[in-house]
């Protein structure tokens, strides 16, 4: 992409309505525009990151054996009356009446709809286990939408639902989700810690929230500092292995880590004092095991091996896809702007032309651009006739992890400059060397 042809409406002023840094930076970098309270348009740069995050979620879900599909945003109230949640959900649910006077709603989540699909088409224990998921917009009429995409009213969520014959199989599905989530967040450059939480309106006894530690987080959390030493890394996982998934769940959840809803001072007191931490966190996902809470009232049963009907054992598992943009920025920025982790960056590298219109410089930039594209990378070339300072400021604000700076002086000795946004370190090298360095960096990111 050439910046002269792109749509990147960066703001010079700091928007007054934004209270936290991620919201400010998303507005300043021209990523989003508020349409109404808690509802945003995703401008090209924001949309690009959203798509990259979605892509990682899809890849990791499918790696774990989960099946993608898509359900609508508008739902019929009938299903929610069957489960008993139509009345229970309260004013957070946006209720709509269509021209036939039918009660509809903009889905805040999809347990009912997926249970209806499965009860219509799954009849035998032989069709199990089954985990279906989608990435779809949700609406919750939050009392206080705030912090930009962090607490929106309309937001993008990945929600997945497992259907199993018995509790043991459903617990494996829960563990499998926990494992796949650890890997998902790490690919986005985030440490998200699973913490014991409360299940709220989704229901069930067992639930973990995944929290990214950040001062601006809305949740108060209590944990043993040893949990922050755990990393998932690039382990090979057999997602069908009950033992492996259980082992990883134990590794990541045996140390104390809870949100304020489940915090227990007496248990916390058993953690060595120097390791006790109280902090704030951003909830980027939550997994639930709730057994037959929806399948029983909705009559979702299968024929068991002995021919008798058995209610399905279920869980649901959510990732806050749009919220993740805010969480990543909260965790990764400096006073100049965003610092995207390589896994989610909107463009892999920026090319800054220091002397637009100078034939040799223009042609060197074009050459680097073409080579990066040939290498399967997605560069953003700042080909505007702006001062160098303005070009650097834009690149720093939008946070591309790598920048190649090309100017006549360097070119005279066959060199360009490669700069890391994270460390600020620059290195002079031949254009080919910069290109192969970026190829190497991104080969390790896939
Ligand atoms: N059905 C279950 C799991 S699929 C469910 O709805 N879970 S949830 O309520 O915990 O939502 C899943 C994730 O969506 C949350 O962890 C959070 O990251 C994100 N989320 C929830 N509410 C909002 C909101 N108002 N704005 C942005 N993201 C949100």
- 219-234, pLDDT tens digit by residue? 999 999 999 999 999 9
Residue 149 contacts residue 326 (beta carbons within 8 Å): yes
Which of 20, 91, 318 is the best mutation target for the ligand 1 pocket, counting ligand atoms within 8 Å of the beta carbon and taking the most? 318
Distance CA(381)–CA(299), nearest Å, equals 57
How many Å lie between the centroid of ligand 1 and the Cα of residue 40? 17
pLDDT 10s digits, 23-36: 999 999 999 999 99
User: CA dihedral in degrees (78, 79, 85, 86; nearest 10)?
Assistant: -20
Indicate which atom in ligand 1 lies nearest the CA of residue 161: 4
Ligand 1 neighbourhood includes 142 CB (under 6 angstroms): yes
* Range list for CATH 3.40.50.800 in the chain: 347-443
pLDDT given for residue 124 in this prediction: 97
Residue pLDDT, tens place only, 73-99: 999 999 999 999 999 999 999 999 999
pLDDT(206) > 90: no
Distance 66 CA to ligand 1 centre (A): 19
Q: What is the pTM of this model?
A: 0.96
If you measure from the C-alpha of residue 121 to the centroid of ligand 1, how many angstroms do you get, rounded to a whole number? 27
| Confidence at residue 200, expressed as pLDDT on a 0 to 100 scale | 78
Which residues, other chains included, contact 120 with Cβ-Cβ below 8 Å and sequence gap of 6+?
Answer: none
Give the ligand 1 atom nearest the CA of 284. Answer: 18
Q: Measured from the CB, is residue 397 less than 6 Å from ligand 1? A: no
Query: What angle do helix axes 21-28 and 321-331 make, rounded to 10 degrees?
Result: 100
**Whether the Cβ atoms of residue 245 and residue 176 lie closer than 8 Å to each other:** yes
Query: What distance in Å separates the CA atoms of residue 71 and residue 243, rounded to the nearest whole number?
Result: 33
Residue 256 contacts residue 195 (beta carbons within 8 Å) = no
Q: What is the three-state SS of the chain? A: CEHHHCCCCCCCCCCCCCCCHHHHHHHHCCCEEEEECCEEEECHHHHHHHHHHHHHHHHHHHHCCCEECCCCCEEEHHHHHHHCHHHHCHHHCEEEECCCCCEEEECCCCHHHHHHHHHHHCCEHHHCCEEEEEEEEEECCCCCCECHHHECCEEEEEEEEEEECCHHHHHHHHHHHHHHHHHHHHHCCCCCEEEECCCHHHCCCEEEEEEEECCCCCEEEEEEHHHHHCCCCCCCCCCCCHHHHHHHHHHHHCCCEEECCCCCHHHHCCCCHHHEEEEEEEEEEEEEEEECCCCCCCCCEEECCCCCEEECEEEEEEEEHHHHHHHHHHHCEECCEECCCCCCCCCCEEEEECCCCCHHHHHHHHHHHHHHHHCCCCEEEECCCCCHHHHHHHHHHHCCCEEEEECHHHHHCCCEEEEECCCCCEEEECHHHHHHHHHHHHHCCC
- Judge if the beta carbon of residue 140 lies within 6 A of ligand 1: yes
pLDDT digits (tens, 9 = 90+) for 169-194: 999 999 999 999 999 999 999 999 99
Calculate mean pLDDT across residues 405-430.
Answer: 98
Angle in degrees, CA 226, 232, 234, rounded to 5: 150
Going from the Cα of 319 to the center of ligand 1, the distance in angstroms, rounded, reads 7
What is the third-level CATH fold of 347-443? Rossmann fold (3.40.50)
Q: Which of 22, 132, 136, 320 to mutate to test the pocket of ligand 1 (most atoms within 8 A of CB)?
A: 320
| Ligand 1 atom with the shortest distance to the CA of 159 | 4
Under a CB-based contact definition with an 8 Å cutoff, are residues 162 and 129 in contact? Answer: yes
The pLDDT of residue 446 is above 80: no
Q: Whose CA is nearest to atom 16 of ligand 1?
A: 285
Structure confidence at residue 126 (pLDDT) = 96
Does the beta carbon of 286 lie inside 6 Å of ligand 1? yes
The response to whether residue 24 sits with its C-beta less than 6 Å from ligand 1 reads: no
Q: Which atom of ligand 1 is nearest to the CA of 142?
A: 25
What the block records as the tokens of 336 is: 């100049």
CATH assignment of 3-337?
A: 3.30.930.10
Q: Tokens in use for 140?
A: 């919750």
Ligand 1 atom with least separation from CA of 201 = 9
What's the chain's average pLDDT? Answer: 96
| Ligand 1 pocket, residue 401 CB under 6 Å | no
pLDDT value for 198: 84
Distance (Å) from CA 364 to ligand 1 centroid: 47
For CATH 3.30.930.10, list the domain ranges present in the chain.
3-337
Taking 70 as the threshold, does the pLDDT of residue 283 lie above it?
yes
362-368: Cβ within 8 A, 24+ apart = 364/406, 364/411, 364/416, 364/431, 365/406, 367/431, 368/404, 368/406, 368/416, 368/431, 368/434, 368/435
Distance 417 CA to ligand 1 centre (A): 43
- Residue 317 in contact with ligand 1 by CB distance below 6 A: yes
| Partners of 209 in beta bridges | 195, 286
Residues 6+ apart with CB under 8 A from 28: 10, 11, 14, 15, 337, 397
Query: What's the pLDDT score for residue 102?
Result: 97
CB neighbours of residue 330 within 10 Å: 23
Calpha distance 252→244 (Å, rounded)? 12
Q: What percent of the chain stands above pLDDT 70?
A: 100
pLDDT of res. 199: 78
Contact 342, 445 (CB under 8 A): yes
Per-residue confidence (pLDDT) for residue 183, from 0 to 100: 97
Ligand 1 pocket member 103 (CB < 6 A): no
Q: Does 202 have pLDDT greater than 80?
A: no
pLDDT tens for 39-79 read 999 999 999 999 999 999 999 999 999 999 999 999 999 99
């Amino acid at each position: 992409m050439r910046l002269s042809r792109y749509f990147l409406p960066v703001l010079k002023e700091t928007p007054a309505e934004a209270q936290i840094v991620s919201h400010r930076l998303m507005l300043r970098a021209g990523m989003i525009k508020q349409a109404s309270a808690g509802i945003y348009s995703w401008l090209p740069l924001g949309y690009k990151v959203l798509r990259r995050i979605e892509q990682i979620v899809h890849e990791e879900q499918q790696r774990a054996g989960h099946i993608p599909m898509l359900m609508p945003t508008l739902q019929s109230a009938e299903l929610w009356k069957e489960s008993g949640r139509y009345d229970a959900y309260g004013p957070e649910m946006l209720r709509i009446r269509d021209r036939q006077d039918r009660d509809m709603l903009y889905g805040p989540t999809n347990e009912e709809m997926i249970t209806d699909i499965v009860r219509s088409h799954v009849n035998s224990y032989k069709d199990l286990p089954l985990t279906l998921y989608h990435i779809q917009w949700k609406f919750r009429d939050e009392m206080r939408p705030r912090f930009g995409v962090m607490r929106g009213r309309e937001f993008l969520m990945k929600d997945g639902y497992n259907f199993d014959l018995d509790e043991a199989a459903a617990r494996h599905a829960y563990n499998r989700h926990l494992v796949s989530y650890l890997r998902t967040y790490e690919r986005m450059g985030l440490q998200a810690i699973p913490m014991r939480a409360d299940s709220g309106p989704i229901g069930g006894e067992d639930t973990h929230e995944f929290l990214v530690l950040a001062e601006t987080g809305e949740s108060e959390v209590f944990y043993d500092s040893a949990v922050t030493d755990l990393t998932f890394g690039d382990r090979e996982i057999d997602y069908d292995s009950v033992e492996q998934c259980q082992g990883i769940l134990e590794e990541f959840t045996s140390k104390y880590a809870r949100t304020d809803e489940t915090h227990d001072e007496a248990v916390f007191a058993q953690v060595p004092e120097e390791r006790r931490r109280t902090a704030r966190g951003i909830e980027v996902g939550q997994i639930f095991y709730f057994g037959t809470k929806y399948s029983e009232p909705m009559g979702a049963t299968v024929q068991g091996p002995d021919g008798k009907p058995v209610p399905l054992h279920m869980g649901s598992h959510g990732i806050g896809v749009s919220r993740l943009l805010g969480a990543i920025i909260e965790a990764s920025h400096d006073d100049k702007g965003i610092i995207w982790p390589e896994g989610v960056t909107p463009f892999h590298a920026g090319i800054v032309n220091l002397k637009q219109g100078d034939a040799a410089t223009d042609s060197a930039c074009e050459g680097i651009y073409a080579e990066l594209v040939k290498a399967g990378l997605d560069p953003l070339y700042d080909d505007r006739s702006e001062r160098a300072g303005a070009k650097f400021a834009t690149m720093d604000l939008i946070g591309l992890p790598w920048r190649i700076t090309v100017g006549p002086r360097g070119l005279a000795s066959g060199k360009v400059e490669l700069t890391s946004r994270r460390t600020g370190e620059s290195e002079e090298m031949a254009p080919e060397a910069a290109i192969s360095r970026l190829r190497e960096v991104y080969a390790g990111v896939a």
